[in-house]
Amino acid sequence: GENVGLHLPTLSVQEGDNSIINCAYSNSASDYFIWYKQESGKGPQFIIDIRSNMDKRQGQRVTVLLNKTVKHLSLQIAATQPGDSAVYFCAESYTNTGNQFYFGTGTSLTVIP
């Protein structure tokens, strides 16, 4: 599969702080990206997406930043809460594979109360 990698396998943050989860991708042709959150025993939950014609997209407490120059994606979580503790995956896709998604191995976020 594609090399959709993550810079850090684990991340610990204090409750109330902001979290930043990073993701590197290798295919410059990728044109669509999704961040997922996976809690223990559950399937991945869609958080936010971004297309390659955008640099930034904001949701509720989350922001995704896309830097196509260095092929880097980040997820920022504001005011991190204990319920944010989970594994976060980034996924990329590009049209010439029929929008097949490629996933990184995930970053485990632990929120310290």
Partner 1 sequence: KAGVTQTPRYLIKTRGQQVTLSCSPISGHRSVSWYQQTPGQGLQFLFEYFSETQRNKGNFPGRFSGRQFSNSRSEMNVSTLELGDSALYLCASRTYNEQFFGPGTRLTVL
Residue nearer to partner 1 on the CB measure, 40 or 69: 40
Q: Are 65 and 74 in contact (CB under 8 A)?
A: yes
What CA–CA distance (Å, rounded) separates 85 from 39?
A: 7
| Contact call for residue 88 and partner 1 (CB under 8 A) | no
Residue with tokens 């407490």: 61
What CA–CA distance (Å, rounded) separates 104 from 4?
A: 5
What does the per-residue mask of binding to partner 1 show for 42-61, with x meaning CB under 8 A? xxxxx--x-x----------
Residue nearer to partner 1 on the CB measure, 43 or 83: 43
What CA–CA distance (Å, rounded) separates 42 from 60?
A: 21
Residue nearer to partner 1 on the CB measure, 42 or 69: 42
What does the binding site for partner 1 look like in residue numbers (CB under 8 A)?
1, 32, 34, 36, 42-46, 49, 51, 89, 91, 93, 97-106
